[in-house]
Amino acid sequence: MSTLLLTGIATADEFGACCLPDGSCTDLPDDLPVDGEALCDILQGTWLGTGTSCKTSACLDGACCFMEVECEPLLSQEDCESAGGVFLGELSTCENEGNYCRDDLGACCLDFQDCIEQVAPDDCSTIGGEFIGIDTTCNEDAPWCAILFGACCFGEYCLEQVEQYECEISGGTFWYGPCEEFTDVPECVASPRGACCVDGIDCETDVTELECDQMNGVYYGDDTTECPPTCAVNVFGACCLDEGCSYMPDYICLISEGTFLPGEDCNPDPCPTCNGDLDGDDTVDVNDLLMLLSAYGDDGSGDCDGDGDTDVNDVLSLINAWGDC
């Protein structure tokens, strides 16, 4: 991918301002060997044009809603409001912020389990739903298509505020009221329990599969009493933080937003001293950018911000560190 983007050494007037997806603006430097528009594309941004600058240009255009029935994209706030429309924000789109601005929206029922509102007929059909009609709502026009919450009984064990579908596929018996009203129900059966690994470090040994799912854990089967060795085993190593190197478990380093180096200690200090210096020559330059682009989206070898992957933030971090360390 990076080979196609590298079109030779660029001149200063080939660079300009780029509007990023979060609405911020960044000026791309004039001494990088990548075409400005192509680099803005990598950042998933909007290119404002050759020679532009964030000081003189702004990410102003967005969607404009007229009478709540028609949406026009890519208008400035001034043009939108002077035409009698409602400006939906910088870099807004008719597909997202302007979705409500149509005259054919209504309720959409999905698999007789979930109901969503303000959906167009075509969009409802695309996601496999049944369109209830224009100007319909879930409560008034499709009360039969809603997520119901209540008590879920597994023999003597009862859970509150469980979705009906989730309860029934887990082998429980559903009741619309609280657990205290769920008495003398012959259909209730005992809920099997087992071991569950939570967050890769905490082993719960006596939980139901439903409880494990609610903790976002991994359930190891009914009647299991322990988790595999990979759960609750902490990997230690060097953690590169802004304030320096510290020896700690991997999950604490992750929580601290550091860069984890498994098996390493801090004597000698293995942490890079220069963000963006991927080839270790004490200079952030063209070679580092080429290494980052070759790893973009595939692995963490181009990681400059310590989050373990190679993405937009790493490109920006490298650009900010451009030059001698």
Q: DSSP labels for 146-205? A: S--EEEEEETTEEEEEEEHHHHHHTT-EEESS-GGG--S-TT--PPPEEEEEETTTEEEE
Q: Averaged over 250-273, what is the pLDDT?
A: 80
pLDDT tops 80 at residue 19: yes
User: Is residue 64 one of the residues assigned to a domain?
Assistant: no
Check pLDDT > 50 for residue 63. yes
Same domain? For 46 and 9 the reply is: yes
Instruction: Indicate whether 44 belongs to any domain.
Output: yes
Whether 82 is in a domain gets the answer no
How high does pLDDT run on average in the chain? 79
Place of tokens 């020559």: 281
User: What's the whole-model pTM score?
Assistant: 0.27
Q: Is the pLDDT of residue 95 over 80?
A: no
The answer on pLDDT for 212 being more than 60 is yes
Q: Is residue 206 a contact partner of residue 191, using CB atoms and an 8 Å limit? A: no
Q: Could you tell me what percent of the chain has a pLDDT over 70?
A: 85
Per-residue pLDDT at 87: 92
Q: Who has greater pLDDT, 43 or 35? A: 43
Q: Are 325 and 281 in contact (CB under 8 A)?
A: no
Burial label for 254, CB within 10 Å (0-12, 13-18, 19+), is: middle
Asked if residue 26 is part of any domain, the answer here is yes
Is the pLDDT confidence value at 169 over 60? yes
- Higher pLDDT: 238 or 62? It is 238
| Mean pLDDT, range 52-57, rounded to an integer | 74
Look-up: residue for tokens 């979930």? 114
Per-residue model confidence (pLDDT) at position 159: 83
For residue 8, pLDDT over 60 is answered with no
Clarify whether residues 289 and 314 are in a common domain: yes
* Start-to-end Cα distance in the chain: 28
Whether pLDDT at 295 is above 60: yes
Confidence check: pLDDT of 1 > 50 = no
238 vs 249, which has greater pLDDT?
Answer: 238
Please state the separation of Cα 21 from the chain's center in Å.
13
* For the chain, percent of residues with pLDDT exceeding 90: 4
- Cβ proximity of 274 and 321 under 8 Å: yes
Q: Based on the domain organization, do 6 and 46 belong to the same domain? A: yes
What integer is the mean pLDDT of 165-174? 82
Asked, for residue 62, whether it belongs to a domain, the answer is no
* pLDDT value at residue 89: 85
Tell me, yes or no, whether 8 and 45 share the same domain.
Answer: yes
Q: Is residue 186 part of a domain?
A: no
Has residue 39 been placed in a domain? yes
Domain that holds residue 30: 2-50
Residue type, 105: L
Mean pLDDT of 188-215: 79
Average pLDDT over every residue of 138-158: 77
Say whether both 136 and 155 belong to one domain.
no
Same domain, 136 and 154: no
Q: Are 63 and 92 in contact (CB under 8 A)?
A: yes
Number of domains in the chain: 6
